[in-house]
């Protein structure tokens, strides 16, 4: 660990060694002072045969130093040879410096993993920067479907990853409770209310309402809402004008739907720090304030947009509109702020909402959206630039569709929701941990196939099973070890003091190298806002462990427990415990519990 108590990755540590060599050359006058070393990296080479680490230092500094890359690499190499932990150095290609580390480095790192526990990989790379992660934000029109579940998992795991990397994270849900969809939902709830009144309302009242209303939402989940309205209002709402009953019904149905949403999210293990209401923003005048802000800067004007590219919608018309100068901030076209009836477009409250985030102290904002919002990204990023005078940064992660299958065949829609399979139904069938892990096995911008048959099978092709099996195998080894070794000698702290230099087999050292890459993976995945990288990493680490297990099955001398050599057993058990610790650390980012045994 460094002085702050955070884990300093080996790659950071050896980058410091490389930078120290550069500084020494500067002190000798062999390199100009003040060269920018920000682009100097130390990372694993693409080919394992090239060594343990490689640096591009000579490549990126050669030009400002006025030297050939290989010549500069030679000077840096001489300095790095003074570092005792580096066993071998070679210059490759146009000037890469490849390093092989002494075995003691890997043994010390294993001890560090055991001492640190699942906090291994915690970083101060984010330097406490506050970041707002807004995700799910589904219209409160019913229970969440499996697509919402993907966004929920991606957003939640990303927030956890950022927190592990040293950011101060706030999870936020934006409640779209002021739009046309909520009004349509209120009409459906009013229909269920009339039904719930039973004999207290004449049948022709319900028939007339259905005749005059095009109901979009007909799922059974609205039945309890209708019953609640009947209990709270009796027949008072019957016969009222729409403008009279709509506010009361809308408030009740939004409240009820958000209860459903929270229930679904809780079942998935997702909790939010903040829920922000669109209607509240409108009522507080923040939309008016935001648009006034843009007008003061000359970013709002009245103009006529060109027709959309491709097929022109039948309802499109060439007319003057109130427009935001989005093209000045990277968008393809300027964007309407008001509809033809003078009301705000859905874009306007979103502008106000992101300005509100910025005013609450969030310069870095990350939104996780569904596939249907892909075309909305540029305009929102343009608005954030405009509203924050360029200080705000918005990254949008668009989650593509989830194909729900069972044995390769599409799953039929839910009876409860009426049009889709609910998230809660999926969780009930396979459990939240399986749902969470599978949702992170592909990058968010790729369609994901969720096959009930495949995610429950016990094969290597099921990533959930494969990773959890590695942890369960490790725990099984430790339980067997406890039959011949005192439990006091099997604690992580005790194992950290074992004679770890007994670990000399190439597969053993490769497994430690894999574990040691975890802190770097945390930082790079957090910086890229890509939590799926954790799933790939865990799968690779599990593969290394399973390969070592199989190697021990073939060669008895490589088994983890050797009753004829307890010091060697302790070293190998330290390796097993270390691997389980790193797996558990990764699963913790995912919000998934590591299993103790496979059933």
Region for residue 127 given its phi and psi (left: phi exceeds 0; alpha: psi -120 to 50; beta: otherwise): left
Residue 367 DSSP one-character state: E
* The pLDDT value given to residue 312: 66
Second-level CATH architecture of 136-174+272-399 = 3-Layer(aba) Sandwich (3.40)
pTM of the model: 0.93
In the block, tokens 């309402």 appear at: 209
CA triplet 233, 239, 245: central angle to 5 degrees? 55
For residue 339, count other CB atoms closer than 10 A to its CB. 13
With the C-alpha atoms ordered 367, 370, 376, 377, is the resulting torsion angle positive or negative? positive
Q: Can you give the residue ranges of every domain in the chain?
A: 10-101, 107-125+459-590, 136-174+272-399, 180-267
With the C-alpha atoms ordered 296, 298, 299, 305, is the resulting torsion angle positive or negative? positive
For the chain, the farthest-separated pair of C-alpha atoms sits apart, in whole angstroms, at: 97
Q: Where are the beta strands (DSSP E) in 339-431?
A: 364-370, 393-399, 402-406, 409-410
Separation between Cα atoms, residue 153 and residue 135, nearest integer Å: 9
Partners of residue 451 on adjacent β-strands: 405
Sheet holding 448-451, edge to edge: 409-410, 402-406, 448-451
Residues 6+ apart with CB under 8 A from 334: 303, 305, 323, 324, 325, 326, 327
The DSSP string of 101-143 is E-HHHHHHHHHHHHHHGGGTT---TTTT-EEEEE-----SSSS
Q: Are 89 and 98 in contact (CB under 8 A)?
A: yes
Beta strands 409-410 and 402-406: pairing type?
antiparallel
Q: Are 78 and 468 in contact (CB under 8 A)?
A: no
Q: Are 383 and 328 in contact (CB under 8 A)?
A: no
Second-level CATH architecture of 107-125+459-590 = Orthogonal Bundle (1.10)
- The number of CA neighbours under 13 Å toward the Cβ of 142 is 25
Q: Are 360 and 347 in contact (CB under 8 A)?
A: no
Give, in order, the Cα–Cα distances in Å from 69 to each of 93, 123, 318.
10, 32, 60
In the block, tokens 């070592």 appear at: 548
Q: Which CATH number fits domain 10-101: 3.40.50.2000, 3.40.1010.10, 1.20.1250.20, 3.30.1360.70?
A: 3.30.1360.70
Show the low-confidence residues of the chain (pLDDT under 70): 1-8, 311-317, 413-419
Residue 413 DSSP one-character state: P
* The pLDDT value given to residue 419: 67
Angle, helices 146-164 vs 566-590, to 10°: value is: 120
Residues 6+ apart with CB under 8 A from 60: 39, 40
The DSSP string of 322-337 is EEE-GGGGT-SS-EE-
Separation between Cα atoms, residue 128 and residue 74, nearest integer Å: 38
Q: Are 196 and 226 in contact (CB under 8 A)?
A: yes
* The pLDDT value given to residue 78: 96
Residue 446 DSSP one-character state: S
Structure tokens at 416: 């409860």
* The pLDDT value given to residue 598: 84
Residues 6+ apart with CB under 8 A from 147: 370, 371, 399, 401, 402
Q: Which long-range contacts (CB under 8 A, 24 or more apart) does 98-103 make?
A: 98/45, 98/50, 98/51, 98/53, 98/54, 99/14, 99/51, 99/52, 99/53, 99/54, 99/55, 100/51, 100/52, 101/52, 101/53, 103/501, 103/504, 103/509
Separation between Cα atoms, residue 138 and residue 409, nearest integer Å: 27
Q: Are 5 and 124 in contact (CB under 8 A)?
A: no
- Mind spelling out the 3-state secondary structure of 341-355? CCCECCHHHHHHHHH
Report helix, strand or coil for 399. Answer: strand
Separation between Cα atoms, residue 303 and residue 290, nearest integer Å: 20
Residues 6+ apart with CB under 8 A from 91: 58, 70, 73, 74, 77, 97, 98
Report helix, strand or coil for 91. Answer: strand
Question: Within its chain, how far is the Cα of 227 from the centroid?
Answer: 38
Structure tokens at 56: 């591009």
* The pLDDT value given to residue 315: 56
The DSSP string of 211-249 is HH---S---GGGHHHHHHHHHHHTTTTTT--HHHHHHHH
* The pLDDT value given to residue 341: 83
């Amino acid at each position: 660990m460094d002085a702050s108590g955070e884990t300093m990755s080996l790659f950071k540590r050896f980058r410091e060694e490389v930078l120290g060599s550069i500084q020494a050359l500067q002190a000798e006058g062999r390199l100009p002072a003040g060269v920018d070393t920000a682009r100097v990296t130390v990372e694993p080479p693409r080919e394992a045969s090239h060594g343990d680490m490689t640096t591009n230092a000579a490549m990126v500094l050669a030009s400002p130093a006025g030297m050939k890359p290989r010549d500069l690499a030679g000077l840096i190499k001489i300095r790095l040879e003074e570092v005792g932990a580096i066993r071998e150095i070679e210059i490759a290609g146009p000037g890469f410096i490849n390093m092989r580390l002494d075995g003691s480095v890997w043994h010390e790192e294993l001890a560090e993993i055991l001492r640190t526990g699942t906090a291994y990989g915690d970083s101060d790379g984010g330097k406490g920067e506050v970041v707002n992660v807004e995700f799910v934000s589904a219209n409160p029109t019913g229970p969440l479907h499996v697509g919402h579940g993907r966004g929920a998992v991606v957003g939640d795991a990303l927030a956890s990853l950022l927190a592990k990397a040293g950011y101060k994270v706030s999870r936020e849900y934006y409640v779209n409770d002021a739009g046309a969809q909520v009004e349509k939902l209120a009409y459906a709830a009013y229909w269920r209310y009339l039904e719930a009144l039973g004999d207290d309302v004449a049948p022709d009242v319900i028939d007339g309402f259905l005749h005059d209303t095009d109901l979009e939402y007909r799922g059974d989940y609205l039945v309890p809402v209708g019953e609640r309205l009947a209990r709270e209002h009796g027949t008072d709402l019957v016969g009222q004008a729409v403008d009279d009953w709509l506010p009361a019904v809308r408030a009740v149905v939004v409240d009820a739907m958000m209860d459903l949403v929270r229930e679904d999210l809780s079942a998935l293990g997702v909790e939010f720090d903040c829920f922000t209401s669109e209607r509240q923003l409108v009522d507080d005048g923040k939309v008016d304030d935001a648009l006034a802000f843009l007008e003061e800067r000359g970013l709002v004007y009245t103009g006529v947009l060109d027709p959309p590219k491709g097929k022109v919608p039948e309802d499109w018309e060439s007319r003057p509109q109130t427009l935001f100068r989005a093209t000045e901030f990277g968008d393809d076209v300027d964007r309407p702020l008001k509809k033809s009836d003078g009301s705000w477009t859905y874009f306007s409250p979103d502008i106000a909402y992101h300005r509100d985030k910025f005013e609450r102290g969030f310069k870095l904002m990350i939104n996780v959206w569904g596939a249907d919002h892909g075309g909305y990204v540029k305009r929102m990023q343009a608005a954030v630039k405009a509203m924050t005078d360029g200080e705000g940064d918005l990254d949008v992660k668009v989650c593509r569709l989830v194909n729900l299958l069972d044995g390769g065949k599409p799953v039929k829609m839910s009876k409860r929701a009426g049009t889709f399979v609910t998230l809660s139904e999926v969780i009930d069938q396979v459990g939240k941990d399986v749902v969470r892990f599978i949702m992170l096995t592909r990058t968010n911008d790729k369609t994901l196939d969720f096959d009930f048959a495949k995610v429950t099978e016990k094969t290597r092709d099921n990533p959930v099973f494969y990773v959890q099996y590695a942890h369960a195998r490790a725990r099984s080894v430790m339980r067997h070890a406890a039959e011949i070794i005192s439990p006091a000698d099997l604690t992580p702290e005790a194992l950290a003091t074992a004679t770890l230099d007994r670990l000399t087999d190439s597969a053993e050292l490769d497994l430690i190298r894999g574990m040691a890459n975890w802190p770097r993976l945390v930082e790079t995945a957090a910086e890229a806002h890509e939590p799926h990288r954790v799933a790939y990493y865990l799968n690779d680490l599990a593969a290394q462990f399973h390969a070592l297990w199989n190697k021990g099955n073939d060669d008895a001398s490589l088994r983890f427990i050797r009753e004829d050599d307890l010091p060697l057993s302790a070293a190998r058990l330290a390796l097993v415990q270390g691997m389980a610790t790193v797996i558990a650390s990764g699963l913790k980012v995912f919000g998934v519990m590591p299993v103790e045994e496979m059933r």
